[in-house]
Amino acid sequence: MSVSRISQEGLEHILNNRVMVPVTCIIKFYSNTCGYCHALEVPYREMADEFKDVLFFAINSEEVPDHLINHLGVDGV
């Protein structure tokens, strides 16, 4: 399975449990200027291919409001 890019609206749907089918999701927050984020891209995609029953998402942390980043405990990217 591939990694899907998710919007802020999609993220809020997941966080508020407004999804059609219950499923395990992993959401990677990233920044376009973060070297570690780029280095983790390949392993993240490999995990998405390996775990077919899990949905993998990625969202640019710069597109997420600060209050939501803080609420989720995202320390850095």
pLDDT by residue for the chain (77 residues), tens digit each?
Answer: 699 999 989 888 888 887 777 889 999 999 999 999 999 999 999 999 999 999 999 999 999 888 888 888 888 76
How far apart (Å, rounded) are the C-alpha atoms in residues 42 and 19?
27
SS (H, E, C) the chain: CCEEECCHHHHHHHHCCCCCCCCEEEEEEECCCCHHHHHCHHHHHHHHHHCCCEEEEEEEHHHCCHHHHHHHCCCCC
How confident is the model at residue 1, as a pLDDT? 67
**59: which strand partners?**
29
How confident is the model at residue 72, as a pLDDT? 85
How confident is the model at residue 75, as a pLDDT? 82
